[in-house]
Amino acid sequence: MENAAQLLAVGLLWGVTNPFMRLGSQGIESVKDTGSKWRNLLQEARLIGTRWRYWVPFGLNQCGSALYVWTLQNSSITVAVPVANSLSFAFTAITGYILGEKLPGKKVILGTLLIGCGSTLLLYDKILQEQAENQLNITFQ
């Protein structure tokens, strides 16, 4: 159950920060082409490097990544990956909509709901397996 809460937190940190990073990086496409890849890269890095509205969500996003790695120590990767990613996608869509972005199409929403249902079933199965293992451990002790 603790892993489920951690995966929910990972999905939340990843998903909520994505639209804010997108907002924080607006205008990077307007960096003038100088003809040099390296000069363009430096101009883009300078532009992004001075924007706290990009770096704060980026830092929170990286906290989600650290929590994800921490959670993988005690989770099955076959459960952790789809759960964290599907929750991230859902939280990105919801947060983007709240910030004024257009809502994804019906097929994307249906797909997200199906992935969410599948992730819920994965978590439910994992919880049932852990309970069965605990019962076996109690029986043999």
Count of domains observed in the chain: 1
Residue-level pLDDT at 32: 74
Residue-level pLDDT at 36: 79
Residue-level pLDDT at 18: 94
Residue-level pLDDT at 111: 83
Residue-level pLDDT at 1: 63
DSSP line for 67-91 = HHHHHHTSS-HHHHHHHHHHHHHHH
Here the tokens at position 140 are: 């043999």
CA atoms within 13 A on the CB side of 139: 6
User: Strand (E) positions, 16-141?
Assistant: none
Q: List, run by run, the mean pLDDT of 10-residue segments along the chain (141 residues).
A: 85 95 83 78 82 93 96 86 86 89 83 82 81 76 61
Domain range for 101 is 2-140
> In angstroms, rounded to a whole number, what is the distance separating the alpha carbons of residues 14 and 68?
10
**Contact residues for 116 (Cβ-Cβ < 8 A; gap 6+):** 86, 87, 90
